[in-house]
Amino acid sequence: DARVTQTPRHKVTEMGQEVTMRCQPILGHNTVFWYRQTMMQGLELLAYFRNRAPLDDSGMPKDRFSAEMPDATLATLKIQPSEPRDSAVYFCASGLGGSQPQHFGDGTRLSIL
């Protein structure tokens, strides 16, 4: 089965460091989403792309977060500088748009000390 691949699976770093999370969407999928999950807030949409163009990033803290799609096979989410409150599991999902479902990766578990 085709899968969304996320790297790294786990990341522990100190406050102030730059963090980059990567996502390889399912081949042929033209929409890519970034979500964040915490115990307090649950699953929240951060940003999404269609055909590599950013469509909405209103869920993302603009001052420190950035999301890009350098090419159709790679999406990145960067945090600079990182803060302890950014500790969460970050999920990437991809889909074909329209009514077709999104498929999720297994996430990056991020801990900022």
Binding positions for other proteins, rule: CB under 8 A: 4, 31, 33, 35, 42-45, 48, 50, 55-56, 58-59, 91, 93, 97-99, 101-107
Nearer to other proteins, 82 or 94 (CB): 94
Name the minimum Å distance from CB 104 to other proteins.
Answer: 4
Output the 3-class SS for the chain.
CCCCEEECCEEEECCCCCEEEEEECCCCCCEEEEEEEECCCEEEEEEEEECCEEEECCCCCCCCEEEEEEECCEEEEEECCCCHHHCEEEEEEEECCCCCCCEECCCEEEEEC
Nearer to other proteins, 12 or 43 (CB): 43
Name the minimum Å distance from CB 105 to other proteins.
Answer: 5
List Cα–Cα distances, 65 to 57, 79, 82, in angstroms.
Answer: 10, 5, 9
Nearer to other proteins, 28 or 42 (CB): 42
Name the minimum Å distance from CB 43 to other proteins.
Answer: 4
Nearer to other proteins, 14 or 98 (CB): 98
